[in-house]
Amino acid sequence: MKQHFFILALSVVVSATHAQSRKVVIETTMGDIVILLYDDTPLHRDNFIKLVESGFYDDLLFHRVINAFMIQGGDPDSKDAPPERSLGMGGPGYTIDAEIVYPKYFHKKGALAAARTGDQSNPQRRSSGSQFYIVQGQVYTHPEVDQIEQAAIQRQGQMVVNRYAQPHIEKFVSMQAANDTEGIQKLQEQVLAEAANELEALRSYKIPTQMREAYTTVGGTPHLDEAYTVFGEVVEGLEIIDKIANVETNAQNRPLQDVVMKMRVVQDR
């Protein structure tokens, strides 16, 4: 458990500007979904609007659909894609700095979030320039949310210890190379002692009330929290997410019958 804490924490680059809230209608072959874009994630908001207004998303597919999880689209390669084509790698040729505003925005049902490549190749958690997903998720019991709460404490604890371990990393690596298990043990104990006060304070952490209420009523995918940029939410058409999520898919989670989208920006409704 102690060694688990030595995973290096990686910084999230956050940028912010101010603009008026905007809504986007996603017209699909199964019904319309209305999305509210958050002002607190301006890079994602402005990029999404730019792509919508340019017609980038028109005639693309929801190419990855997993029931009780999410529906994903935005791959330009999905336009007119034959059934045998593998999808999910396309984009506009750029990525976007992460804007993870947690716990204010989290993965409740209807959350709009940016897809991205994994942490190993993308430690800064930069978002795809165009691919997005909309959360369907599932409803959790209060005991299950308690477990999620404990997992959040563990994640935050890891981040705290990573910060205290950072100045010792070269020494730690050197000890590993020398197979100095005694030195590693002492160094771990030193770091944990330095982090003790902050770790103790974390023990009283509680999931915010609005988050617990959402996960125990409408549901969501809490295991994605703090890892992906949530930049909007569905304000009309949650039932359409369920309809899309329930379609039959192939082994790559692509719907057997294409679910096509078209988008437009609208004034506040």
pLDDT (0 to 100) of residue 155: 84
pLDDT 10s digits, 61-80: 999 999 999 999 999 999 99
Q: Which residues make beta-bridge pairs with 28?
A: 31, 261
pLDDT (0 to 100) of residue 205: 87
pLDDT (0 to 100) of residue 179: 93
pLDDT (0 to 100) of residue 4: 39
Counting as low any pLDDT under 50, the low residues of the chain are 1-19, 269
The b/e string for 103-140 (b: 16+ C-beta within 10 A; e otherwise) is: eebbbbbbbbbbbbeeeeeeeebbbbbbbbbbbbbeeb
Q: How far apart are alpha carbons 8 and 158 in whole angstroms?
A: 9
pLDDT (0 to 100) of residue 267: 72
Task: Copy the structure tokens of residue 203.
Answer: 């023990």
Task: Copy the structure tokens of residue 231.
Answer: 């930049």
Contacts of 59 (CB under 8 A, 6+ apart): 79, 80, 260, 261, 262
pLDDT (0 to 100) of residue 20: 55
Q: List the domains of the chain with CATH numbers.
A: 23-139+218-266 (2.40.100.10), 142-202 (no CATH)
Biggest distance spanned by C-alpha atoms of the chain: 65
